[in-house]
């Protein structure tokens, strides 16, 4: 055998050890070459009478992240080429055979007649965990770093190498569906409790335990290949079985609104597969996998949430000539909710943090917020008490700006007011000097104007976090007119250190994310004035694919903040720059009724001390007229929500605020939850087709106003038959 990605050794005891250790990679991934080599090993083990069985292990710090999804993208491209050259029938046959190749390899391993055990440490996800499920015995390291899961659904796919069939034959059907639907990672203990692993052991012992199982007479037959096998939940067509499927379908529709074909395919695979022998079930799964792999949703989600995101995470926008920055200590100005969140994620990733506020009490409140965040992780078993102590020791809370001396980066997160920000900038730079990169966490104020208060504008940059900082994955980096490559490189290195995904945008009021999300929120406010029932507004937005309705989102952000932003915009740009309907809504809630959102328990919703939030009945006072709910076109409401955001994203592209479609799409999904199944705001336009999108914009603009009018760039692209992803 000529193995490049594995090491294969047979011990004196007759047990082979296959160590997966791909050269030049920090993580093992499944590629065509890996599949070919694994197939050779399986045949070698099966044919050699001297080999009693085989243990599969990893030579990396983790087992494997699964398949290289670019391989799947290439198979889609090959199918498109075959359609033209060989016709639909042959092209589809070849695509199906390609799509089931990994599944067939795993089935051959499972039925080759020799026992295979797998020793897993670190993450083992996707196709790698499907390999584990095909092995006859699974031993997991008993530590916090070992996680297993099938997260394919998060990029528009589903486990297509036997995952749906084996999981549904190991776990009770309801649990299996939840595991497959959510794509979550399980700890070793949770995996063993679910039956997905047979043993837990210290990492140093997992290989020897796997070998011991083989030498102890481990069987080379899976439970589902034994004659007396029965699925954990019994037959589908039984009273117990049918009690599962009606609620499962209802849960699917409640959670996805039928927007995610891969989730529906999981239902099909499990429902149909459990009625069949395993081999036929695998064929059913493969047919659904080939179908989903060709869907536009999968193509868009793989591109944005895997390929593009990974490219941005690895520094696609980092200036190549700038040397790496060695960040050890940062200063955070403002110990409020945002500043404390930034301090927390920074300390969590090993940085020393000086947390500044106007007095010691305020600074201490910020550190208390950090304490609460890490304590929550400890209580959930995701961090240890010693890790908490070490993190808190890295955070110094103080009102003394002189303590900023020695910081490698200053990040300002004070109140969204020019004067307050200017004062904080002045005091910080008096302590650290002009050469330390200074970042502002402003949400709307243009960076170029804020940089005017800086000693050195070329070292001034925007680093916009999203709330809550510890949960949101995106950071928007904003370039002022004078921002240098050094400042950009420093900001990107910082964002990478704290394990967030960056997008780089040029200066503009609201930048990229807030311009788009404010269009979404404004559309909900406008619908209220039109007389659309508030509950219908919220439900239509979720049906369109948004994670929360615009009224809920506005409450979370703060109505008073929205009111302040509106007033600041009006002051800077004039009354024509604000939407009268939006001003009416926010003025009515904030000024007249003192409703600031969740923060004071009163917004579009009422937030009781105990119990669920409910829509405030007083919202009826905003409607200019009463509409018959049955006469409202819900599909049009859905389109308005998505088009309002997408056309604003297109405007930012036309204005060179965003210059890379990848950043617009990744930013729109991670930053404000733009319907992930579309692949992002610009992919939504591409998916619809530029001509169709422009026509829809014109229809909505004629009916609802110029906010839907497409920029000239879109008209030009439609005329020329272009897309944002020209090579797609």
- Where residue 569 sits, what CATH number does that domain have? 1.10.1040.50
Of 269-273, 569-573, 622-626, 640-644, the range with the lowest mean pLDDT is 569-573
121 in the same domain as 169 = yes
605 in the same domain as 482 = no
Helix, strand, coil shares, percent, the chain, to 5: 55, 10, 30
pLDDT score for 195: 97
**561-594, pLDDT tens digit by residue?**
889 888 888 888 898 888 899 999 999 999 999 9
Exposed (0-12), middle (13-18) or buried (19+): which is 275, by Cβ within 10 Å?
A: middle
Does some domain include residue 318?
no
Average pLDDT, the chain: 95
Is the confidence at residue 384, as pLDDT, over 50? yes
**449-462, pLDDT tens digit by residue?**
999 999 999 999 99
Does some domain include residue 324?
no
Is the confidence at residue 609, as pLDDT, over 70? yes
The whole-model pTM stands at: 0.91
Does some domain include residue 635?
yes
User: Please, what is the angle between helix 278-293 and helix 261-273, to 10°?
Assistant: 170
What secondary structure letter does DSSP report for 281?
H
Measured CA to CA in angstroms, residue 195 lies from 189, 228, 232, 542 at distances of 10, 18, 11, 35
Q: What is the mean pLDDT of residues 187-206?
A: 97
Percent of the chain clearing pLDDT 90 (strictly above): 87
Element (H, E) at 157: none
Query: Do 710 and 693 meet the contact criterion of CB atoms below 8 Å apart?
Result: yes
Q: What is the largest CA-CA distance in the chain?
A: 85
527 in the same domain as 482 = no
356 in the same domain as 217 = no
Q: Which residue carries 């619809």 as its tokens? A: 688
541 in the same domain as 426 = no
Count Cα neighbours of 526 within 13 Å in the Cβ-side half-sphere.
17
Does some domain include residue 268?
yes
Distance of alpha carbon 92 from alpha carbon 632, whole angstroms? 42
- CA 58 from chain center: how many Å? 27
Distance of alpha carbon 464 from alpha carbon 633, whole angstroms? 37
Is the confidence at residue 727, as pLDDT, over 80? no
- Where residue 474 sits, what CATH number does that domain have? 3.40.50.720
523 in the same domain as 478 = no
Q: Which residue carries 């990478």 as its tokens? A: 496
Measured CA to CA in angstroms, residue 72 lies from 5, 30, 194 at distances of 20, 11, 30
pLDDT score for 548: 95
**41-58, pLDDT tens digit by residue?**
999 999 999 999 999 999
Distance of alpha carbon 178 from alpha carbon 17, whole angstroms? 34
Instruction: List strand residue ranges (DSSP E) for 13-161, in order.
Output: 15-20, 53-58, 116-120, 123-125, 137-141, 147-149
**Which of 161, 174, 184, 201 has its CA nearest to residue 71?**
161
Which residue has better confidence, 178 or 467?
178
706 in the same domain as 586 = yes
Is the confidence at residue 728, as pLDDT, over 50? no
Q: In what order do the strands lie in the sheet containing 437-440?
A: 395-398, 352-356, 329-333, 409-412, 437-440, 460-465, 474-479, 501-506
Distance of alpha carbon 105 from alpha carbon 117, whole angstroms? 16
Distance of alpha carbon 419 from alpha carbon 432, whole angstroms? 20
φ, ψ of residue 342 in degrees (nearest 5) = -65, -45
**253-282, pLDDT tens digit by residue?**
999 999 999 999 999 999 999 999 999 999
Does some domain include residue 58?
yes
Q: Which residue carries 């056309």 as its tokens? A: 647
Q: Which residue carries 């409140």 as its tokens? A: 365
**390-441, pLDDT tens digit by residue?**
999 999 999 999 999 999 999 999 988 889 999 999 999 999 999 999 999 9
Element (H, E) at 354: strand 352-356
Task: Give the tokens for residue 171.
Answer: 């776990």
Task: Give the tokens for residue 327.
Answer: 């960040």
**317-327, pLDDT tens digit by residue?**
999 999 999 99
pLDDT score for 84: 86
Sign of torsion over alpha carbons 154, 156, 158, 159 = negative
Query: Do 489 and 318 meet the contact criterion of CB atoms below 8 Å apart?
Result: yes
Sign of torsion over alpha carbons 36, 37, 42, 43 = positive
Chosen domain end from 508, 529, 549: 508
Chosen domain end from 294, 321, 346: 294
- Where residue 268 sits, what CATH number does that domain have? 3.90.226.10
Chosen domain end from 508, 526, 552: 508
Q: Which residue carries 């311009």 as its tokens? A: 515
Residue 227, preceding bond cis, omega within 30 degrees? no
Q: What is the tally of structural domains in the chain?
A: 3
Contacts of 280 (CB under 8 A, 6+ apart): 273
Strand 614-615, strand 185-187: pairing = unpaired
Residue ranges of the alpha helices (H) in 545-607?
Answer: 550-557, 559-573, 580-586
Please give the residue range of the domain that contains residue 21: 6-294
Contacts of 52 (CB under 8 A, 6+ apart): 13, 14, 15, 114, 115, 214, 215
What secondary structure letter does DSSP report for 350?
T
Contacts of 381 (CB under 8 A, 6+ apart): none
Q: Which residue carries 């429902």 as its tokens? A: 271
Does some domain include residue 305?
no
Q: What is the mean pLDDT of residues 535-557?
A: 96
Does some domain include residue 269?
yes
What secondary structure letter does DSSP report for 396?
E
Contacts of 721 (CB under 8 A, 6+ apart): 690
Residue 238, preceding bond cis, omega within 30 degrees? no
215 in the same domain as 96 = yes
CA angle in degrees (0–180, nearest 5) for 70-474-505 = 90
Distance of alpha carbon 270 from alpha carbon 291, whole angstroms? 16
465 in the same domain as 549 = no
Distance of alpha carbon 598 from alpha carbon 228, whole angstroms? 56
Does some domain include residue 311?
no
pLDDT band at 100 (very low <50, low <70, confident <90, very high): very high
Tell me the CA end-to-end span of the chain in Å, nearest whole number.
38
501 in the same domain as 518 = no
Q: What is the mean pLDDT of residues 613-617?
A: 97
Query: Do 439 and 463 meet the contact criterion of CB atoms below 8 Å apart?
Result: yes
154 in the same domain as 47 = yes
144 in the same domain as 113 = yes
Distance of alpha carbon 288 from alpha carbon 296, whole angstroms? 14
């Amino acid at each position: 055998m000529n193995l490049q990605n594995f090491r294969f050794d047979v011990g004196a005891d007759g047990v082979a050890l296959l160590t997966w250790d791909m050269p030049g990679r920090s993580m093992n991934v499944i590629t065509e070459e890996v599949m070919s080599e694994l197939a050779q090993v399986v045949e070698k083990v099966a044919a050699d009478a001297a080999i009693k069985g085989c243990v599969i292990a990893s030579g990396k710090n983790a087992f494997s992240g699964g398949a290289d999804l670019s391989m799947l993208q290439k198979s889609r491209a090959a199918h498109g080429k075959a359609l033209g050259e060989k016709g639909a029938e042959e092209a589809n046959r070849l695509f199906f055979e390609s799509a089931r190749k990994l599944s067939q390899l795993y089935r051959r391993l499972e039925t080759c007649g020799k026992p295979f055990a797998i020793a897993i440490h670190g993450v083992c996800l996707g196709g790698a965990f499907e390999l584990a499920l095909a092995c006859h015995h699974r031993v997991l390291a008993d530590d916090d770093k070992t996680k297993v899961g099938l997260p394919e659904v998060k990029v528009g796919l589903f486990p297509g190498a036997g995952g749906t069939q084996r999981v549904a034959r190991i776990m009770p059907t309801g649990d299996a569906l939840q595991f497959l639907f959510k794509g979550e990672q399980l700890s070793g203990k949770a995996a063993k409790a679910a039956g997905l692993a047979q043993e837990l052991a210290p990492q140093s012992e997992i290989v020897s335990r796997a070998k011991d199982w083989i030498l102890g007479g481990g069987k080379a037959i899976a439970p589902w290949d034994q004659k007396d096998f029965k699925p954990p939940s019994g037959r589908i067509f039984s009273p117990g079985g049918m009690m599962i499927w009606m609620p499962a379908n209802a849960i699917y529709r409640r959670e996805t609104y039928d927007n995610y074909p891969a989730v529906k395919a999981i239902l099909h695979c499990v429902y149909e597969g459990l009625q069949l022998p395993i081999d036929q079930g695998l064929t059913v799964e493969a047919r659904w996998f080939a179908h989903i792999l060709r869907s536009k949703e999968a193509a868009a989600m793989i591109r944005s949430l895997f390929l593009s995101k990974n490219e941005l995470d690895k520094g696609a926008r980092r200036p190549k000539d700038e040397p790496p920055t060695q960040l050890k200590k940062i200063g955070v100005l403002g110990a409020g909710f945002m500043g404390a969140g930034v301090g927390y994620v920074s300390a969590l990733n090993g940085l020393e943090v000086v947390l500044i506020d106007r007095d010691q009490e305020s600074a201490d409140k910020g550190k208390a917020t950090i304490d609460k965040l890490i304590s929550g992780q400890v209580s959930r078993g995701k961090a240890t008490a010693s890790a908490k102590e070490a993190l808190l020791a890295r955070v110094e809370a103080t009102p003394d700006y002189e303590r900023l001396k020695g910081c490698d980066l200053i990040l300002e997160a004070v109140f969204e007011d020019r004067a307050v920000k200017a004062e904080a900038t002045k005091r910080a730079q008096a302590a650290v000097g002009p050469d330390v990169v200074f970042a502002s966490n402003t949400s709307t104020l243009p960076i170029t104007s804020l940089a005017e208060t800086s000693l050195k504008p070329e070292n001034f940059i925007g680093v916009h976090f999203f709330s809550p900082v510890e949960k949101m994955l995106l950071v928007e980096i904003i370039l002022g007119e004078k921002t240098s490559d050094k400042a950009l490189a420093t900001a990107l290195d910082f964002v990478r250190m704290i394990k967030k995904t960056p997008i780089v945008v040029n200066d503009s009021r609201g930048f990229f994310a807030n311009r788009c999300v404010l269009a979404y929120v404004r559309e909900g406010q406008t619908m209220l004035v039109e007389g659309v029932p508030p509950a219908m507004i919220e439900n239509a937005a979720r049906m369109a694919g948004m994670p929360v309705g615009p009224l809920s989102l506005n409450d979370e952000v703060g109505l008073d903040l929205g009111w302040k932003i509106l007033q600041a915009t009006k002051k800077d740009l004039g009354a024509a720059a604000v939407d009268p309907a939006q001003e009416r809504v926010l003025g009515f809630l904030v000024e007249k009724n003192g409703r600031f959102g969740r923060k004071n328990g009163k917004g579009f919703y009422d937030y009781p001390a105990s119990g669920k939030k409910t829509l405030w009945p007083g919202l009826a006072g905003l409607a200019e007229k009463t509409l018959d709910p049955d006469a409202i076109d819900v599909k049009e409401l859905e389109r308005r929500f998505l088009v309002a955001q997408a056309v604003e994203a297109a405007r930012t592209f036309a204005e060179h605020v965003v210059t890379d479609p990848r950043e617009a799409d990744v930013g729109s999904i991670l930053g404000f939850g733009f319907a992930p199944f579309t692949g992002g705001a610009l992919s939504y336009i591409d998916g619809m087709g530029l001509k169709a999108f422009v026509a829809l914009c014109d229809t909505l603009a004629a009916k609802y106003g110029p906010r839907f009018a497409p920029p000239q760039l879109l008209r030009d692209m439609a005329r020329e038959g272009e897309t944002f992803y020209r090579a797609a």
